[in-house]
Amino acid sequence: MSAMARKLLVLNAGSSSLKFKIFGLNPFAAGMGGMFDRIGDAANCTLKASAPAEAPGSKGRKWELKIPAKDHVGAMESIMDFIKENVSSAFSREVVAVGHRIVHGLDLSQPALLNEKTIDKIRQAAVLAPLHNPPGLQGIDAAQRVFSGVPQVAVFDTAFHQTMPPHAYMYGLPYDLYEKHQIRRYGFHGTSHKYLAEQAAEMLGKPLSETNVITCHLGNGSSIAAVQGGRCIDTSMGMTPLEGLLMGTRSGDMDPAVVLHVQKQLGLSVQETDTLLNKKSGLLGLTGSNDLRTVIEGAHKGEPRSALGLAMFVYRVQKYIGSYTAALQGKVDAVVFSAGIGENSSLIRGLILQPMQAMGLIVDAAANDATVGGRQGDISTPTSPVRLLVIPTDEELSIAQQTLQVTG
Ligand code: ADP
């Protein structure tokens, strides 16, 4: 195999999906990416993929194919057939490393080379992430069958937040629960927050170690992090992704006694309460839609619940920016907006930022309106004491870079 052909594969397995992205290593460049969706549902199982505009041969081509896959191993095999046909027939020999996005890594603070010990740790963490880690393990199993002998690396959503100090990650519960059951705050979206902090330092022209930022990853799932000199010191999600901001279908912060009350008064089981808080709450529960675009439309039409959902979403983000400004002792170089909402909605950014002028967050309306649809930019006025940055997140790229740091 020529050095030119060496490739890295990034995999992100969900409960019924398997996302993939190929990276060329000589030179390092993103290649085709795609997603197998509705795995296990033979009638609707689809493989969608697209090649980057600059890819030789396939130039921006898009594919959508109906292919049945009964499980993640079947999906992985079909992805391999598809890549061999459309990218390179020698693909299985060209892949020199595989990087997996794994949601929960307990106290692991670095990407981990996969072996029996690290896979066991991911299994242990499944107690705290029952919806997320088992699919990750299925993705690992599928890739190990296809690429036997190729080094594989787990990149954890929790890892970047491991630098949080105990006063930020502990709950006010009996200490035993932490020692015996690992109940503490872990934080998620870490790969995205890490990438955003690094990109922000680059945009500001400062060394990462001297840069303080508040990174807002606002999508269907949303979280905010306070990053001091490249190290996370606090983040809004907790032991699970339920804590923090108001999200598409998750409640975010609330009095935990509400859980006891609904179980007692409404007779909800543990499973039903879990579904209520994670899948039926947030914007969906308040307004009927988990899509902020629909909520905005509703608010514009004068629907009171949509207006309420919108106001609550905005207010929670403002509260976290305020508290993380305090956590960073008032020394904030930039506030960063990213993910589906943060990258695309100048309206939401404006609603968040306009009332925060007195805190040194001064938004430039024209720059804000112009920085949408995957554009990167500074949306603050030249005199704003705090820079306001929009940075499209790229978790796959970060996973690829972190995988290479482990495999060399
Ligand atoms: P996920 O957490 O699923 O990765 P994304 O980061 O893709 O989510 O964000 C998806 C969300 O972004 C959608 O639910 C939608 O509400 C929101 N979104 C996308 N574009 C816009 C827009 N122009 N205005 C407001 N919200 C938007």
Residue 218 — very low, low, confident or very high, per pLDDT cuts 50/70/90? very high
Q: For tokens 């603070």, what's the residue?
A: 109
Q: Which of 143, 163, 305 is nearest to 233 (CA)?
A: 163
Tokens of 264: 């007692």
Q: Which of 25, 21, 26 is nearest to 10 (CA)?
A: 21
In this predicted structure, the answer to whether residue 57 has a pLDDT above a threshold of 70 is no
Bridge partners (DSSP) listed for residue 217? 223, 338
**pLDDT of 158:** 97
Residue 293 is labelled as binding a ligand: yes
Q: For tokens 């001297």, what's the residue?
A: 210
Atom of ligand 1 nearest to the CA of 290: 14
pLDDT in tens, 265-282: 999 999 999 999 999 999
Q: Is the peptide bond before 56 cis (omega within 30 degrees of 0)?
A: no
- Cα separation of 184 and 170, whole Å? 5
Residue 340 is labelled as binding a ligand: yes
Residue 14 — very low, low, confident or very high, per pLDDT cuts 50/70/90? confident
**pLDDT of 365:** 98
Residue 118 — very low, low, confident or very high, per pLDDT cuts 50/70/90? very high
Residue 193 — very low, low, confident or very high, per pLDDT cuts 50/70/90? very high
Q: Which of 110, 325, 334 is nearest to 233 (CA)?
A: 325
Average pLDDT over residues 319-343: 98
Amino acid at 37: D
pLDDT in tens, 65-115: 999 999 998 999 999 999 999 888 999 899 999 999 999 999 999 999 999
Q: From ligand 1's centre to the CA of 251, what distance in Å?
A: 17
Element (H, E) at 254: none
The CATH classification of domain 206-395, taken from the options 3.30.420.40, 3.40.390.10, 3.40.50.150, 3.40.50.2300: 3.30.420.40
Q: How far is CA 34 from the centre of its chain?
A: 17
**Atom 12, ligand 1: which residue's CA is nearest?**
340
- Cα separation of 138 and 322, whole Å? 40
- Domain extents in the chain: 3-156, 206-395
Q: How big is the chain, counted in residues?
A: 408
Bridge partners (DSSP) listed for residue 48? 35, 64
Equal fold, 3-156 vs 206-395: yes
Atom of ligand 1 nearest to the CA of 295: 16
CA atoms within 13 A on the CB side of 73: 4
Element (H, E) at 147: none
In this predicted structure, the answer to whether residue 181 has a pLDDT above a threshold of 80 is yes
**Atom 7, ligand 1: which residue's CA is nearest?**
340
Residues 32 and 17 sit within 8 Å (Cβ to Cβ):
no
Residue 122 is labelled as binding a ligand: no
- The contacts of residue 23 (CB under 8 Å, 6+ apart) are 7, 8, 9, 10, 29, 30, 31, 397, 400
Which pTM was predicted?
Answer: 0.94
- Cα separation of 312 and 306, whole Å? 10
Q: Which of 179, 180, 184 is nearest to 166 (CA)?
A: 184
Residue 292 is labelled as binding a ligand: yes
**Which of these ranges, 3-12, 47-56, 226-235, 273-282, has the smallest mean pLDDT?**
47-56
pLDDT in tens, 16-39: 899 999 999 998 999 999 999 999
Tokens of 5: 């052909």
In this predicted structure, the answer to whether residue 129 has a pLDDT above a threshold of 90 is no
Average pLDDT over residues 349-369: 98
- Percent of the chain exceeding pLDDT 90 equals 88
- Cα separation of 407 and 112, whole Å? 10
Q: How many helical (H) and strand (E) elements, i.e. helices and strands, does the chain have?
A: 16, 14
Q: From ligand 1's centre to the CA of 372, what distance in Å?
A: 12
Looking at domain 3-156, its CATH superfamily turns out to be: ATPase, nucleotide binding domain (3.30.420.40)
- Cα separation of 221 and 225, whole Å? 14
Tokens of 257: 């006694």
**pLDDT of 130:** 84
Element (H, E) at 250: none
Ligand 1 shell residues, CB under 6 Å: 219-221, 248, 291-293, 296, 339-341, 344-345
Q: What is the dihedral of CA 396, 399, 405, 408, to 10 degrees?
A: -60
Q: Which residues of 287-298 are buried (b: 16+ CB within 10 A; e: fewer)?
A: bebbebeebbeb
Choosing from 41, 71, 157, 333, which is the catalytic residue?
157
Residues 278 and 290 sit within 8 Å (Cβ to Cβ):
no
In this predicted structure, the answer to whether residue 154 has a pLDDT above a threshold of 90 is yes
Please, what is the average pLDDT of the chain?
A: 95
Q: From ligand 1's centre to the CA of 375, what distance in Å?
A: 15
Atom of ligand 1 nearest to the CA of 292: 16
- Is 274 one of the catalytic residues? no
In this predicted structure, the answer to whether residue 58 has a pLDDT above a threshold of 70 is no
Tokens of 167: 């006063």
CA atoms within 13 A on the CB side of 263: 13
**pLDDT of 41:** 87
Q: From ligand 1's centre to the CA of 143, what distance in Å?
A: 30
Q: Which of 45, 310, 17 is nearest to 136 (CA)?
A: 17
